Amino acid sequence: MSSNNKSLEEAMVSLQEGNLESFDMIYESTFQSIFFIIYGVLKDYHLAEDVSQNAYLRICEKIHLYKRGTNPKAWMATIARNLALNELRKLKKELIVDLDTIDYLEYTNNPTDVETPLIDLARANLSDIEFQILMLCTVNQYKRREAAKLLNMPISTVTWHYQRAIKKLRKLIKGGDHFEKG
């Protein structure tokens, strides 16, 4: 287990024991990952922010279920992804229109406060799953096997989507080619 995961696990155990100060460390070290997982599902920056906050509330509510010795980021990511999927289902029920026809808000604010032209290029030209895998593996620095576990996919599928995404981005950057999502 890496030192980051070890200190995160220590903070999770501390939170289980009632030390609310450890929540700050948990939040700071995982917010970007949690946000991008949720954003990858919802494709709406402001909604992803709201669901991210709900994810941390749920994490605090369910902290007693966290098992020491497991991957704390994967446990939190599962909660975040499930909340995002639930929100997406709720939106589909509320909106009778096809979600693919909605003009989603542009992603203008990055949690790291850095301009993101490459992320914008990726979002505009990659399929949803390619974008989500790319964000997990590059921005959030998950290994492909960890991303496969989070997304409940075979590692070979995750690797294929990841390599395809990288290949598309390289061609876009070098030659200005445009791809259709898919």
Tens-place pLDDT, residues 68-85: 988 999 999 999 999 998
- 1-99, what's its fold? Rna Polymerase Sigma Factor; Chain: A (1.10.1740)
Average pLDDT, the chain: 80
For residue 82, the Cα-to-chain-centroid distance in whole angstroms is 11
Query: Per-residue DSSP letters for 36-100?
Result: HHHHHHH--HHHHHHHHHHHHHHHHHTGGGPPTTS-HHHHHHHHHHHHHHHHHHHHHHH--S-GG
Q: What pLDDT does 35 receive? A: 94
pLDDT at residue 171, as a whole number: 85
pLDDT confidence tier of residue 147, bands split at 50, 70 and 90: confident
Query: What per-residue confidence (pLDDT) applies to 137?
Result: 84
Residue 28 vs residue 136, higher pLDDT: 28
Q: What is the DSSP string of 142-164?
A: --HHHHHHHHT--HHHHHHHHHH
Q: Residues spanned by CATH 1.10.1740.10 within the chain? A: 1-99
Written as one letter, the residue type at 165 is A
**In the chain, ranges of CATH 1.10.10.10 domains:** 115-182
pLDDT, mean of residues 61-74: 92
Residue 168: exposed, middle, or buried by beta-carbon count in 10 A (0-12, 13-18, 19+)? buried
Top-tier CATH class for 115-182? mainly alpha
Supply the pLDDT for residue 4: 67
φ/ψ of 131, rounded to 5, equals -65, -45
Q: What percent of the chain has pLDDT over 90?
A: 38
pLDDT at 44 over 50: yes
104-138 residue pLDDT tens:
333 334 444 445 677 878 888 888 889 888 888 88
What is the identity of the amino acid at 50?
A: D
- Residue 169 — very low, low, confident or very high, per pLDDT cuts 50/70/90? confident
Between 111 and 99, where is the model more confident?
111
- The distance from CA 118 to its chain's CA centroid, rounded to whole angstroms, is 17
Among residues 58, 120, 116, which one has the least CA distance to residue 87?
58
Query: For residue 134, what pLDDT is reported?
Result: 86
For the cut 70, the answer to whether the pLDDT of residue 101 exceeds it is no
pLDDT tier at 3, thresholds 50, 70, 90: low
Who contacts 55 (Cβ-Cβ below 8 Å, separation ≥6)?
34, 38, 76, 79, 80, 83
